[in-house]
Structures are given as structure tokens and as C-alpha cells.
Chain A
Amino acid sequence: MSNNKSNKSKMLYTFFAWLISLAIFFPILWTILTSFKTETEAIASPPSLFLFDWTLENYNKVMQQSPYFKHFWNSVVISVGSSLLGLLIAIPAAWSMAFIPTKRTKNLLMWMLSTKMLPPVGVLIPIYLLFRDLGILDTLGGIVVIMTLINLPIMTWMLYTYFKEIPGEILEAARMDGASVGQEILYVLAPIALPGIASTLLLNVILAWNEAFWTLILTTVNAAPLTAFIASYSSPEGLFYAKLSAASTLAIAPILILGWFSQKQLVRGLSFGAVK
């Protein structure tokens, strides 16, 4: 009898969970579906969910109209480049703060996080003018540097929370056995720390891929990533739903897939170790 009751409640919870999650997912699903419709069907009333003539025409048009692959490549360079560069700087910093803490370590960490609280508009004009005067407006190199600096505090924090969970005794044991610092990092620390580093990298790739303040302001044509490519559809000319949907699908698909595959690591990393 109680089994029957718990079965009933399971069905009920399942129903609500699916209802709500479908509602949350619906805008994305709808965008993907619309991208395969013709423009007429895209604004048809009543709208059809699956029963329409599927077409790839919009994807063709979007690719012809604007160099999608160039923007895609820019997004890859910006997000992966800035994340790797960031790791290079953040790993040593986080490592030393986690394993050789001093009295000032906690304050240093707080200060790093506080730089993240600096609103980008506070430095908008100087950065814009510096970029203009150095001639690096709309260049990939310039935007990669900015992205690295923006995400450096978050990377350091994330890595720090991962590293802090590695027991110091392991390192001491290695040291006793005569391992040098280099060996210590390479053979002892790296294998344990790799999952943490990987999820830091992933999260930062996603954040940089979706960043839409500096990328919109500092790029126009050459270095414009997908965020800027999509923003160009905000003009009235972009009121073609099917084409807009195709472009949107192309812009979000890579990161959506990457994100789904790595969701478990992401959640832990994102909470700064506040949630185990």
C-alpha cells in the first residue's frame, strides 16, 4: 500500500518536473524548430510545433549573408585563448596560496575577487581610448587580453578552492622522498588537480564565449565573435524569425553541447567551493 502511495507521488513529481523543465527549455527548443521553417511558417498563426516542411534554407542564407565561420573561429580563439592564458597565470598563484599560505593570503584572495566587482563601465573609456591609440580596436589579440584579465580573479578563486582540498601531507611525503618542486607539481599535484583545472578551463570558456559587453564594444568586423554577429540581427532588417533562429542556433549549439557534457564539473566549480 505504501508502495502504491509513493509510486503515485513519484508520478506527480515527475509530471511537474517535466512540465516546468519543458517550459524552461521551450524558448531554446522553439528557436531550433523555427530555424528549420520557412519565413512564412515561422510567423504562421496558429504556430505549428513539428508538422511543417523542414528546410535547411535558412542555414544556407545565414552562411551566405555573413561569414559565420569567421565569427565562430573568433569566438573559439577568444574563449579558449583567454582561458588558457588565464590558467597559465592563475595556476601558480592559486597553487602558492593554497599550499604556502601566509597571513595575507585571505586578504589577497578577497582583493582579487573585489576586482571582479569593479563594473566594466568604470574603465570603459580608458580601455576604449587605449585600444584606439594602440591600434588594437577590433583585433583578436586585444580582446583576448581583456578577457584574460576579466576572468583571472574567478579562475584563481576556483583553482584555489580545488587545490585547498588536496591534502598537504601528500606533498610533504613527496618532499621527504626528495622530490623537487618541479617534480612535486608534475608527478604529484597535476594528476590530482587535473579535474579541477579542467572544470576551471571549461567554465571560463563558457563565460568568455557568452561575454557580451567588451566584445560588443571593442569589436566591429574583424574580431567580432558570435555575440556581436547575433547582435547585428537586432536591427529591424533582422525581423526574419527563421533566419534569426538559424543564426541563434548556430551561435549557441557549440557551447550548449559542451556545457551539457560537463554539467557536473561546472556546478561545483561555479559555486566557489561553497557547495560540496
Chain B
Amino acid sequence: MATNNSKTLARMMVTPAVILLLIWMLIPLGMTIYFSFLDYNLFGDGENKFIGLLNYEFFLTDPAFVDSFFNTLILMTGVLFITLVGGTGLAILLDQAIYGRNIVRIMVLAPFFVMPTVSALVWKNMFMNPVNGIFAYISTTFGFEPIDFFTHIPLTSIIIIVSWQWLPFASLILLTAIQSLDREQLEAAELDGAGKFCRFRFMVLPHLSRAMTAVVLIETIFLLSIFAEIFVTTQGGPGNASTNITYLIYTQSLLEYDVGMGSAGGLIAVVLANIVAVFLMRMIGKNIEG
């Protein structure tokens, strides 16, 4: 009796969240699907003719799409790789007995709190600027030609900026995981003659897998739709060299006013993200609930 009551109550309590999220997903997504079949320009004649799959054809055969698809992947895997490897190293270092550990931790964590527009602008102007930037100063001091970051290696520059933003997150999650490691087991392994590498490979690394899954999942959510860092630095250029899918769709729909094409692109982005999502959900399903 009490259980029946509480079940009804439970359903009532979940309902608002579910309904809101359903609305949030279905209505805009439905509209996107509808628009994607129309010849719809924000400043067009307002006829918005039905043109079938033409928008998809144009979007998918546009060389910019192929470029931005690979840029999105490179951006995501590049940042994931740097933050996971760097984060693990940093976590191990911060786990050692060191002086001033709290201050060190505060400094490492700081970039996570910096908003993307600020970090992108600071890196762009004060560090990567080929004339007045600090990197330019360092290279000229040592007699090298300064690198023009955003002209010659735009995507790499953005990877550097985004990695700087996410490294703290990865390190701290991994550090927390390392600290929960069973010390006695490690010591026993050491006494049995297991070397440093051996202990890392067969004891620390497996223990970190859950935390790494969490890092990959959360970072991916944000990395798939990087926008501000590109918006304030390269604007996707030069050419399409640093355009990701999010930025491409933004230019098509809000700068070129092509709603139909932008919608088709948006849906393709959703499908691609879902492929990644299914893959990730399997991973967490195994790792987090278990």
C-alpha cells in the first residue's frame, strides 16, 4: 500500500524533468528536421519550397563538410589524448609527498574556471601573437623565426588552448582516483619485486580506468561542440583549416542565413554525435554503474 503510494509519488516527481527534457529535445529537433527539407533562407522570398533531400546532398558534398568533420575528430582526439596522458602524469606527480601541495593544486585547477572566450583571447593575443606574443619573444631571443600560430597551425593552436582548459579537470579526477588506490597492495607488490613500470601498468592503470572513462565522457560532450575558442580566434580559417562542424553550421545558418542547409547540417551533427554517444554509453554502462 505504502509502496503503491510512493510509486505514484515517485512518478510525479520525475515527470517535470522528463517532460521538460522531452520538449527540449523533440520540438526543436522536429523543427530542424522539417526545415532541413525546405529551401529556406532567412532573407529569401518566404516561399520555403519543399526540396526533398537536396540540402543534405549539398551539405554532404560540400568540401567544407569533409574538412570540418575531420577537424572535429582531430580536435576531439587531440585534446583527449593530451589531457589523459598529461593528466595521468600530473596526477601521479601530485600524489607524491611534496611541499606546498595545496598551492600547487590550486594553481593546476585554475584554468578550468576560466571562461573559453577569455582563455582563447589571452592565448591568441598575449602568447601566440607573432609580433608581441610571449612565444614570439622566446623564439626571437633564441634566434628562431617566430611561429605565426593562427596562420600556419590554426587547428593545433586551438588544440593547445582547449587542452590547457581541460588538463586541470583530467588531472584532478585522476588524482582523486589514484588517492583511493590500496597502498598496502602496492607495497606488497614492491616487496615482491615488481618494478615501477610494472606497478603502474598492472595496478595503477587498471584502477584508473573508471576515472578515465568519466573524463572521456564528460570531455567529449564539451569537445564535440567547441565554439567560442574558434569564434574569437580564427573564425574557422584560414580557409576551413580550423572549422569544426559546430562552427560550419553556425556560419551557414546565422551568417549566410541558409536555414535549410544549416538544419540539414545540424541533423548530421546530431547523428554523428549519437554514434559517439552510443559508443560512450556502452562504456559507462559497464564502468560507472558496475
Contact = CB atoms under 8 A, between A and B. Distances in A.
Contacts of B111: 24-25, 27-28
A226 interface: yes
Given A24-B107, A24-B167, A267 B10 contact: no
Interface in B116-134: 116-119, 121-127, 132, 134
B228 A212 contact: yes
B188 interface: no
B6 A47 contact: no
A1 interface: no
Given A272-B288, A274-B288, A118 B270 contact: yes
A175 B134 CA distance: 65
Interface stretch (A50-58, A107-115, A192-200): A107-115
A123 B231 contact: no
Interface in B6-24: 6-7, 9-11, 13-14, 16-18, 20-21, 24
Contacts of A18: 98, 100, 104
A259 B96 contact: no
Interface stretch (B29-37, B58-66, B151-159, B193-201): B29-37
A251 B118 contact: yes
B99 A270 contact: no
A118 B127 CA distance: 34
B286 to A, nearest CB: 12
Contacts of B11: 96
Contacts of B176: 267-268, 271, 275-276
B21 A153 contact: yes
B245 interface: yes
A84 B126 CA distance: 37
B185 interface: no
A122 B29 contact: yes
B140 to A, nearest CB: 8
B246 A119 contact: yes
Contacts, number: 306
A206 B108 CA distance: 17
Nearest to B270: A122
Contacts of B17: 89-90, 92-93, 112, 152, 156
A27 B93 contact: no
A143 interface: no
A68 interface: no
Contacts of B109: 259-260, 263
A239 B134 CA distance: 15
A209 B115 CA distance: 8
Contacts of B85: none
A230 B96 contact: no
Contacts of A270: 169, 173, 218
A213 B100 contact: no
Interface string A77-98: 0000000000001101101110
B20 A89 contact: yes
Interface in B251-279: 253-254, 259, 262-263, 265-267, 269-270, 273-274, 276-277
Contacts of A20: 90, 93, 108
Interface in B214-243: 214, 217-218, 221, 224-225, 227-228, 231-233
Nearest to A161: B288
B213 interface: yes
A212 B10 contact: no
A-B pairs, top 6 by smallest CB distance, nearest first, are A212-B228, A123-B28, A92-B13, A126-B31, A96-B10, A25-B107
16 contacts: A10-B97, A14-B100, A24-B107, A30-B126, A31-B126, A92-B13, A112-B21, A116-B221, A130-B31, A216-B227, A230-B118, A234-B121, A239-B125, A252-B115, A268-B176, A271-B214
Interface of B: 2, 6-7, 9-11, 13-14, 16-18, 20-21, 24-25, 27-29, 31-32, 35, 90, 93-94, 96-101, 104-119, 121-127, 132, 134, 137, 141, 164, 167-169, 172-173, 176-177, 180, 210-211, 213-214, 217-218, 221, 224-225, 227-228, 231-233, 245-246, 249-250, 253-254, 259, 262-263, 265-267, 269-270, 273-274, 276-277, 280-281, 284-285, 287-289
